[in-house]
């Protein structure tokens, strides 16, 4: 038998017992497995945690900056009210509550650093005008001795 003739003759070894003579079965397909590996999940969680850490730091800094802005505005308002009261009444106010009672303030604001109405009051014998008859409250500061992380000065020196 020639080589070409041997290839035409079916061999008993080429048939598998499962496939039989007329079977048109295809080889088993690989399952389409979808999902993430443990390493991929850990990597994604680590990236998310880093981003959350950065965002939390930025949020805390923005809170401190907002409190400082409120403190500056409150101090400016209180000092202006003290000055107006003194020039109008020819005497310094005895307290912040008197400023509110006289209508120069709607109410005594809360110190944003201590979150209480515990302002540090300065009483001096300084007269703002020659017509002023009595001295009293001349300035106000925050009662917090915490140092500003942005300006490097204590809040009670503002």
Domains of the chain, by residue range, sit at 50-157
Q: Report the pLDDT value the prediction gives residue 35, as an integer from 0 to 100.
A: 84
- For residues 123-136, give the mean pLDDT: 74
Please report which confidence band the pLDDT of residue 141 belongs to, taking 50, 70 and 90 as the band edges.
very high
Nearest to 113 by CA among 72, 62, 78, 151: 72
Q: What is the pLDDT of residues 53-109, one digit of tens each?
A: 999 999 999 999 999 999 999 999 999 999 999 889 888 899 999 999 999 999 999
Pairing label, strands 136-141, 120-124: antiparallel
Q: Of the candidates 74, 72, 86, 71, which has an alpha carbon nearest to the alpha carbon of residue 123?
A: 86
In this model, does residue 45 exceed pLDDT 70?
A: yes
Query: What's the pLDDT score for residue 99?
Result: 92
Q: Which residue has the higher pLDDT, 21 or 43?
A: 43
**What's the burial of 60, exposed, middle or buried (CB within 10 Å: 0-12/13-18/19+)?**
exposed
Burial code of 2-31, b = ≥16 C-beta within 10 A, e = fewer? Answer: eeeeeeeeeeeeeeeeeeeeeeeeeeeeee
What integer pLDDT is reported at residue 13 of this predicted model? Answer: 53
Quote the CA–CA distance of 50 and 122 in Å, as a whole number.
Answer: 47
């Amino acid at each position: 038998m020639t080589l070409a003739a041997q290839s035409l003759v079916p061999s008993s070894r080429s048939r598998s017992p499962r496939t039989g003579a007329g079977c048109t079965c295809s080889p088993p397909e690989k399952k389409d497995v979808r999902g993430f590996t443990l390493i991929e999940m850990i990597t994604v969680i680590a990236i998310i945690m880093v981003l959350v850490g950065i965002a939390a730091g930025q949020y805390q800094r923005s809170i401190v900056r907002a409190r400082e802005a409120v403190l500056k505005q409150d101090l400016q308002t209180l000092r202006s009210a003290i000055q107006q009261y003194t020039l109008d009444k020819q005497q310094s106010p005895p307290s912040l509550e008197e400023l509110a009672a006289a209508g120069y303030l709607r109410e005594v604001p809360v110190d944003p650093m201590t979150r209480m109405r515990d302002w540090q009051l300065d009483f001096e014998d300084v007269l703002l005008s020659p017509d002023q008859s009595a001295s009293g409250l001349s300035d106000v500061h925050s009662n917090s001795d915490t140092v500003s992380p942005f300006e490097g000065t204590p809040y009670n020196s503002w």
